[in-house]
């Protein structure tokens, strides 16, 4: 991906709406499956932790870990569907095997989780060491470290969609996401704010709105993987699905 490519910010919403109109029930079904995989084990874990027996409490901890990793699989399916519903890219792409996609996605999640935990651990160690001398400096280190970790996470917001779209490896997707976000930082801030607003609205009505906001968010993210000149032919079509 060239550094000169720009995100078509104006066309993201029309293209996402067109894509959602092609297969709304499939999108809603995958969103429901993602929510079930995320919420179901978490509810079971809460019930298991309420039991006083030590062995049962450990099962609750295992259920928590399952609730963190299990939604990755239906989420990948939702991103793949969103990639298929959007207009086909101009550049040819290699064929994609589901086994390879799953393995690279798990590697990507593991790498980003490791970097996050390592960053938080480093901040904690530095703040503890500096706190022996000055609590003010320790607080500044915590704030500065949190900003650095947050900025690093923000540059990886497109890593999973890019992995799905470009059929690349985990490290390649992370590098492409960093380059694309850094080159379009203000636009990505606008997209991030848009997604937060959409999913905040989705939380209303006993979170049933997430069945619509999650597929729409996936379509917006996958549209970000298709930099193009604004208002090309596929974006000038009627934005209302038929």
pLDDT in tens, 165-214: 888 889 999 999 999 888 888 888 989 898 998 888 888 766 788 888 99
By residue range, what is the domain housing residue 155?
A: 9-228
Measured CA angle at 45 (ends 44, 47), to 5 deg: 65
pLDDT at 205: 66
* pLDDT band, residue 27 (cuts 50/70/90): very high
pLDDT at 86: 87
Percentage of residues in the chain with pLDDT exceeding 90? 21
pLDDT at 118: 92
**Domain count for the chain:** 1
Task: Let me know if residue 242 belongs to a domain.
Answer: no
Measured CA angle at 107 (ends 2, 101), to 5 deg: 70
Averaged pLDDT, 110-116 = 90
Does residue 26 surpass a pLDDT of 90? yes
Task: Let me know if residue 126 belongs to a domain.
Answer: yes
Task: Let me know if residue 76 belongs to a domain.
Answer: yes
Cβ partners under 8 Å of residue 130, min gap 6: 137, 138, 141
pLDDT at 216: 92
Averaged pLDDT, 41-47 = 74
Task: Let me know if residue 237 belongs to a domain.
Answer: no
Nearest CA among 184, 187, 177, 160 for reference residue 10 = 187
pLDDT at 114: 92
Task: Let me know if residue 22 belongs to a domain.
Answer: yes
Does residue 162 surpass a pLDDT of 80? yes
Residue 194 · residue 220 · CB < 8 Å: yes
d(CA 174, CA 93): 18
Does residue 8 surpass a pLDDT of 50? yes
pLDDT at 168: 85
d(CA 234, CA 209): 27
Does residue 98 surpass a pLDDT of 70? yes
């Amino acid at each position: 991906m060239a550094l000169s490519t720009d995100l078509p910010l104006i066309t993201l919403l029309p293209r996402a709406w067109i894509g959602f109109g092609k297969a709304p029930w499939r999108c809603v079904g995958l969103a429901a499956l993602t929510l079930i995989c995320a919420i179901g084990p978490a509810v079971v874990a809460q019930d298991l932790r309420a039991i006083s027996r030590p062995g049962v409490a450990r099962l609750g901890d295992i259920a928590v870990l399952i609730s963190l990793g299990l939604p990755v699989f239906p989420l990948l399916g939702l991103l793949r569907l969103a990639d298929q519903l959007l207009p086909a890219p101009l550049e040819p792409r290699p064929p994609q095997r589901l086994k390879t996609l799953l393995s690279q996605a798990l590697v990507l999640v593991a790498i980003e989780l490791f970097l996050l935990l390592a960053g938080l651990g480093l901040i904690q160690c530095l703040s503890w060491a500096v706190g022996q001398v000055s609590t003010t400096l320790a607080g500044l280190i915590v704030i500065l470290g949190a900003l650095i970790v947050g900025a690093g996470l923000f540059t990886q917001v497109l890593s999973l969609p890019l992995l799905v779209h470009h059929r690349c490896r985990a490290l390649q997707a992370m590098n492409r996401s960093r380059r694309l976000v850094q080159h379009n930082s203000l636009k990505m801030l606008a997209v991030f704010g848009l997604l937060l607003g959409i999913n905040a609205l989705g939380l209303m009505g006993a979170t049933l709105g997430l069945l619509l906001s999650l597929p729409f968010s996936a379509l917006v993210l996958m549209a970000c993987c298709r930099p193009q000149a604004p208002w090309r032919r596929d974006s000038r079509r009627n934005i209302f699905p038929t």
